Amino acid sequence: MTPDDLAQLRRDYRLGGLRRADLHDDPVEQFRHWFEQARNAELLEPNAMVLSTSNGRRPSSRTVLLKAFDQRGFVFFTNYASRKAQEIDATAQVSLLFPWYGLERQVGILGRATRISTTDSLAYFLSRPFGSRLGAWVSQQSSVISSRQVLEMQWQQLRQRFADGEVPLPRGWGGYRVVPEEVEFWQGGENRLHDRFRYRRNPQTATEGETPEQGAAGAVDWIIERLAP
């Protein structure tokens, strides 16, 4: 494929627009609505999200799976020695992106990532399939390994070790919760006139370190703005 071929790759977005009147006042509830639509549309991995982090000098991105969300934030799980975890420890500000191409939509989230409790991590870990629990023990995520064979041998050894099915939570594995500070909903439009709405926390009602369910009236006051495409 030549550069000219790439230049001609385009698609006109015609599935629908987005109006302010369509939006819920709470971005988490609006996300819930769109997420259910993504699930009902049978999109591939609707809970897949691109997580971007930074070590303060350069960014990095990868796809992870959303495993829970509510008014407190958006939760994913990882090895705490992984590159993403080290960068979160260095700079807690992260971004999430849900690319729902089949619906001509995307949702972007900016916020701070913090570790969830060991109790909550354990509850999710015990819900995972047996093989996935072993995988969390085997993989020293982001570290250099000599071959895939090494991983498979270690997995088989652990399969024998935990043959009774009781796999404990690895010490260095658990979840992060991303507390949203900005949430953007993007809907593709004809002639590249896309619809974009950004929710941002009202700085007059939010304080540093405050969680989304907190605030003067027990809920976050969100400012909703339409952005140019």
| Within a domain: 159 | no
Query: 188: which 2 tokens?
Result: 């593709």
Contact status, residue 46 vs residue 100, Cβ threshold 8 Å: yes
Q: Name residue, tokens 């952005």.
A: 227
At 211 the pLDDT is 52
At 214 the pLDDT is 45
| Within a domain: 20 | yes
User: What is the extent of the structural domain holding 113?
Assistant: 9-127+171-227
The question of whether 192 is a catalytic residue gets the answer: yes
Amino acid identity, position 193: L
| Within a domain: 158 | no
Q: What's the pTM? A: 0.88
Q: What are phi and psi of 5, to 5 degrees?
A: -60, -45
The residues, ordered by sequence, that sit 6+ positions from 116 with a Cβ below 8 Å of its Cβ are: 75, 174, 175, 176, 177
At 194 the pLDDT is 96
Rounded CA separation 187/34 (Å): 11
| Within a domain: 138 | no
Please state the domain count of the chain: 1
In the set 20, 161, 192, 226, the catalytic residue is 192
Q: Name residue, tokens 């030549």.
A: 2
In 3-state terms, what secondary structure has residue 61? strand
At 1 the pLDDT is 73
Tens of pLDDT along the chain (229 residues) come to 777 788 888 788 888 899 999 999 999 999 999 999 999 999 999 999 999 999 999 999 999 999 999 999 999 999 999 999 999 999 999 999 999 999 999 999 999 999 999 999 999 999 999 999 999 998 877 778 888 998 888 888 888 999 998 999 999 999 999 999 999 999 999 999 999 999 999 987 765 555 544 433 456 899 999 999 9
At 215 the pLDDT is 39
**CATH number for position 219:** 2.30.110.10
At 206 the pLDDT is 63
The residues, ordered by sequence, that sit 6+ positions from 101 with a Cβ below 8 Å of its Cβ are: 43
Of 58, 53, 64, nearest to 93 (Cα)?
53
| Within a domain: 160 | no
